[in-house]
């Protein structure tokens, strides 16, 4: 046994000796020994104990002094241990503060790394999207090249057909010569028709003038037909040369296509390599996330160890508090021990209490030692966890460096791929430029052929402008009709309020008549009461003959008055009934008039709504026609396309009329014609504004049939 309780057995032995001595003294005082007692031989030890009582007291005092000195030494040792523990706690707090600062720095660094990772992720996503867009562009370019290849094949077929057509035209030359006279008559009829249409609008007049010029040109063409027949042979040779040039162009296109396909295969290979690099980057990101997860788990374990350390410190403080409490209890036990002579009856209980306290103190001491060992173990675990965190941080830094290196390599590969893609795109652009030059030459030929048609379209544009002005006038008419309907509605509302006022007046008259009827009823009741009084007076008159004449006269006067009141009441009642009937009739009439007025208002509103819808529909039709005319004004008929084609397109526009997209809903069957319609729609730039903003629609479906 250690600590302040190691002298407890000696103290207990001394206490036991004192108790035995007291018992012996008590027995000798009240039960003295007789000479004949058989226990005479046991009295000698009792006398020896009594003789040694002073020595025992001195020994007890000496033991107490030793115990107090040892207790002072133990208290000093405990105080020293407490100060050392406080120093350790202060050092732990300082270390904890440093660890928290390090954790804050690590957290800040982790946040910065996370932000960098997010930025890198966004950049890679943007590059990925750009790569996808480039891939889509490449696919679209491939489709366009395939379409151009098909177009080249179609043009080759058209060249063959053109050659056949020229041969057929050569045969038809003689027939055309015969038809010239009939064509001349037809042109004269068209000239007359143009003159009639010129009276309708200035645009139609210009068109008629143009047709007249075309008629003159047709006349000249008829005169030059013989010369054209001579040029047919030259044209056939030119067509053969054109076919040869087309064949050479096809070969060039085929070579360019093969080169593009080779470069596209290389681009696809680069895309695959880029995808592999992206996959590796994603794997690295996954590893980084796993490392971050492990770091967070280590942080959680460290926090848990810190929490356990704090809990252990709290338990240690609780144990120290218990030790202090035990010291206080032991001091109280010492105090009770100092008073042992006065409280001998409490000695046994104090002994048991001290033994229990000693056992409890031993348990607390053992618990404190166990907790101290547990704290040391947890500190060791915390140190191990910190070492693990440091190792994981180093591993994370190494992986981050590896990831950065792989990212740099991937970026280099991406840059190389982009450079090669740019070179490929440059080659494709050169090929497209050559193709565009050929297309431009063909478009120039088509433009020369369509110049005369553009003049006709200019006249139609002027007509569309006139229709636009007419639409504005119609919109103003619609606004005037709407204002008129509003005025009529307000007038109807005023009439309804007037009818309500009249109905309230009739209701007041009815209430007044009802009051008159009630007054007549009161008069009638009063008359009845007076009649009863008269009857009583008559009975009294028979008893008093002296007053009968006066009473009779008074009664007659009263009766006449009552009769007059009754007649007046009946008259007023009849008048009230007549007024009530008249009021009911008036209310019925007003109700019928109100219903008729409501029907008329609804009819007018329905008529105005229908007229407004009709005007809006007409304005919408003029709006669509104006858009169609503007598209036709920009449309250039592709050479060789047959007449009677029809194409339905959907145009998406912004509120200002700016075109967003054009989509062919129903194809004409001729891709050239469909593309020419799309080009005409896009060439308009800004679509005409509607006369009424309410008829504006973001998506408009246009049926384009130029010959219709």
Average pLDDT over residues 486-494: 76
523/584 same-domain check: yes
Could you tell me if 571 and 491 lie in one domain?
yes
What CATH code is carried by the domain that includes residue 673? Answer: 3.30.1150.10
Domains in the chain, number:
2
Beta bridge partners of 701: 650
| Helix 53-200 with 225-338: angle, nearest 10 deg | 160
Residue 109, token pair as written in the block: 């660094």
How far apart (Å, rounded) are the C-alpha atoms in residues 631 and 682? 9
E strand or H helix that includes residue 279: helix 225-338
pLDDT surpassing 70 at residue 361 = no
Closest CA to 421 of 253, 252, 265: 265
Give the confidence band of 662 by pLDDT, cuts at 50, 70, 90. very high
- At 43, the pLDDT band (50, 70, 90 cuts) reads very low
Same domain, 518 and 608: yes
Give the best-scoring range by mean pLDDT among 4-8, 17-21, 64-68, 292-296: 64-68
Query: How many CB atoms sit inside 10 A of residue 296's CB?
Result: 11
Burial annotation 27-59 (CB, 10 A radius, 16+ → b, else e) = eeeeeeeeeeeeeeeeeeebeeeeeeeeeeeee
pLDDT digits (tens, 9 = 90+) for 316-349: 777 777 777 777 777 776 777 667 667 766 766 7
Q: What are phi and psi of 151, to 5 degrees?
A: -60, -40
527 in any annotated domain: yes
- CA-nearest of 465, 466, 467, 454 to 634 is 454
The residue with greater pLDDT, 352 or 506, is: 506
pLDDT of residue 42: 43
| Six-digit token string for 124 | 């890679």
Lowest-confidence range among 16-25, 40-49, 160-169, 209-218? Answer: 40-49
Question: What is the C-alpha to C-alpha distance for residues 7 and 66, in angstroms, rounded to an integer?
Answer: 9
- Is pLDDT above 70 for 694? yes
pLDDT at 44 over 70: no
What pLDDT, in 10s, does the model give residues 248-280? 877 877 787 788 788 777 877 877 887 787 788
Q: Does a structural domain hold residue 611?
A: yes
C-alpha–C-alpha distance, residues 705 and 682, integer Å: 17
How does pLDDT run across 107-157, given as a tens digit for each residue?
Answer: 888 888 888 878 878 888 888 888 788 778 878 877 887 887 788 788 778
In a domain, 662, yes or no: yes
- Which domain range does residue 536 map to? 482-618
34 token code pair: 């007789």
Q: In the structure encoding, which two tokens stand for residue 444, read together?
A: 């120039």
Looking at residue 34, what is its pLDDT? 46
Which of 618, 647, 667 represents a domain boundary (last residue)? 618
Decide if pLDDT at 45 tops 60.
no
Q: pLDDT by residue (tens digit) across 190-205?
A: 777 767 776 776 666 7
Report d(CA 586, CA 634) in Å as an integer. Answer: 70
Q: Do residues 601 and 645 share a domain?
A: no
Half-sphere exposure of 23 (CA within 13 A, CB side): 7
Measured between alpha carbons, how far is 119 from 125 in angstroms, rounded to an integer? 10
* Domain end (from 618, 645, 671): 618
**Percent of the chain, pLDDT > 90?**
5
**What is the total residue count of the chain?**
708
CA 532 to centroid of chain Cα atoms: 91
Contact 652, 664 (CB under 8 A): no
Helix 347-543 / helix 548-634 crossing angle, nearest 10 deg: 120
d(CA 96, CA 83): 19
Residue 661's φ and ψ, nearest 5 degrees, are -155, 160
Per-residue pLDDT tens for 663-687?
999 998 999 999 999 999 999 888 8
Cα–Cα dist 626/614, whole Å: 18
Residue 18: name the closest of 335, 337, 358 by CA. 337
- Let me know whether 570 and 525 are in one domain: yes
Residue of 211, 185, 183, 184 lying closest to 196 (CA atoms):
211
Question: Is residue 689 within 8 Å of residue 627, measured between CB atoms?
Answer: no
- DSSP character at residue 546: G
According to DSSP, residue 342 is labeled T
Instruction: Kindly state whether residues 606 and 641 are assigned to the same domain.
Output: no
With respect to residue 575, please indicate whether it lies within any of the assigned structural domains: yes
**219: nearest Cα among 230, 211, 207:** 211
Distance CA 284, CA 401 (A): 11
> Is residue 578 in a domain?
yes
How confident is the model over 543-567, as pLDDT tens digits?
A: 777 777 887 888 788 888 888 888 9
611 and 649 in one domain?
A: no
Instruction: Identify the band that residue 46 occupies on the pLDDT scale cut at 50, 70 and 90.
Output: very low
488 with 601, same domain: the answer is yes
Residue 626 lies in a domain: no
User: Quick one: 571 and 678 in the same domain?
Assistant: no
* Strands across the sheet containing 647-653: 659-666, 647-653, 699-704
Mean pLDDT, the chain, rounded, equals 77
**Residues 594 and 663 both lie in one domain:** no
Q: Residue 581 above 60 pLDDT?
A: yes
pTM, two decimals, is 0.23
Helix (H, G, I), strand (E, B) or coil at 340: coil
683 and 586 belong to one structural domain: no
Please report the pLDDT score of residue 680 as a whole number: 92
Is the model's pLDDT at 393 over the cut of 70?
Answer: no
Could you tell me the CA-to-CA distances from 545 to 86, 530, 533, 542, 556 in Å, in that order? 137, 21, 18, 6, 16
10 Å Cβ neighbour count for 237?
Answer: 10
């Amino acid at each position: 046994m250690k600590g302040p309780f190691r002298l407890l057995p000696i103290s207990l032995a001394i206490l036991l000796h004192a108790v035995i001595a007291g018992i012996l003294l008590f027995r000798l005082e009240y039960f003295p020994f007789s000479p004949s007692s058989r226990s005479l031989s046991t009295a000698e030890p009792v006398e020896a104990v009594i003789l040694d009582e002073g020595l025992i007291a001195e020994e007890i005092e000496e033991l107490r002094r030793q115990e107090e000195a040892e207790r002072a030494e133990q208290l000093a040792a405990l105080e020293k241990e407490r100060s050392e523990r406080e120093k350790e706690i202060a050092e732990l707090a300082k270390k904890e503060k440093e660890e928290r600062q390090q954790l804050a720095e690590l957290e800040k660094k982790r946040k910065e790394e996370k932000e960098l990772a997010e930025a890198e992720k966004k950049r890679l996503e943007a590059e990925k999207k750009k790569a996808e867009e480039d891939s889509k562009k490449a696919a679209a370019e491939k489709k366009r090249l395939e379409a151009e290849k098909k177009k080249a094949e179609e043009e080759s077929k058209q060249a063959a057909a053109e050659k056949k057509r020229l041969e057929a035209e050569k045969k038809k030359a003689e027939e055309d010569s015969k038809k010239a006279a009939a064509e001349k008559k037809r042109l004269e009829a068209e000239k007359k028709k143009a003159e009639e249409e010129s009276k309708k609008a200035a645009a139609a007049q210009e068109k008629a003038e143009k047709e007249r010029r075309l008629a003159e040109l047709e006349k000249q063409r008829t005169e030059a037909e013989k010369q054209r027949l001579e040029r047919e042979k030259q044209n056939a040779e030119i067509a053969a040369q054109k076919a040869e040039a087309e064949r050479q162009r096809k070969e060039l296109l085929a070579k360019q296509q093969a080169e593009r396909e080779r470069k596209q295969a290389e681009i696809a290979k680069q895309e695959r390599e880029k995808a592999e690099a992206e996959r590796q980057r994603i794997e690295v990101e996954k590893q980084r996330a796993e490392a971050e997860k492990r770091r967070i788990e280590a942080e959680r374990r460290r926090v848990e160890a810190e929490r356990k350390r704090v809990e252990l410190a709290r338990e240690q403080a609780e144990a120290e508090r218990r030790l202090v409490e035990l010291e206080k209890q032991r001091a109280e036990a010492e105090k009770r021990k100092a008073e042992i002579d006065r409280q001998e009856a409490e000695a046994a209980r104090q002994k048991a209490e001290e033994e229990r306290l000693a056992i409890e103190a031993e348990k607390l001491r053992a618990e404190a030692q166990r907790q101290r060992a547990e704290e040391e173990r947890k500190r060791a675990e915390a140190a191990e966890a910190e070492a693990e965190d440091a190792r994981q941080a180093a591993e994370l830094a190494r992986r981050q460096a590896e990831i950065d290196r792989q990212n740099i390599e991937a970026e280099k590969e991406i840059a190389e791929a982009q450079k090669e893609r740019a070179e490929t795109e440059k080659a494709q652009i050169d090929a497209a430029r050559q193709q565009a030059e050929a297309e431009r030459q063909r478009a120039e030929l088509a433009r020369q052929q369509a110049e005369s048609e553009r003049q006709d379209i200019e006249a139609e544009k002027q007509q569309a402008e006139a229709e636009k002005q007419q639409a504005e006038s119609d919109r103003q008419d619609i606004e005037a009709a709407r204002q008129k309907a509003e005025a009529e509605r307000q007038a109807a509302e005023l009439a309804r309020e007037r009818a309500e006022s009249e109905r309230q007046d009739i209701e007041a008259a009815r209430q007044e008549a009802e009051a008159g009827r009630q007054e007549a009823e009161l008069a009638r009741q009063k008359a009845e009461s007076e009649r009863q009084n008269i009857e009583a007076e008559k009975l009294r008159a028979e008893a008093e003959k002296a007053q009968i004449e006066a009473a009779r006269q008074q009664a007659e006067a009263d009766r006449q008055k009552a009769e007059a009141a009754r007649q007046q009441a009946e008259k007023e009642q009849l008048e009230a009934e007549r007024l009530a009937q008249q009021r009911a009739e008036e209310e019925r009439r007003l109700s019928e008039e109100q219903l008729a007025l409501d029907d008329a208002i609804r009819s007018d509103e329905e008529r105005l709504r229908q007229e407004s819808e009709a005007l809006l529909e007409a304005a919408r039709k003029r709006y669509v026609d104006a858009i169609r005319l503007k598209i036709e004004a920009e449309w250039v008929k592709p050479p060789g396309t047959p007449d009677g084609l029809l194409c339905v397109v959907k145009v998406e526009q912004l509120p200002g009329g700016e075109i967003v997209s054009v989509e062919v809903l129903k194809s004409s069957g001729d891709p050239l014609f469909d593309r020419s319609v799309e080009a005409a729609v896009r060439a308009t730039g800004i679509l005409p504004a509607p006369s009424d903003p309410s008829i504006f629609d973001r998506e408009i479906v246009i049926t384009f049939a130029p010959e219709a």
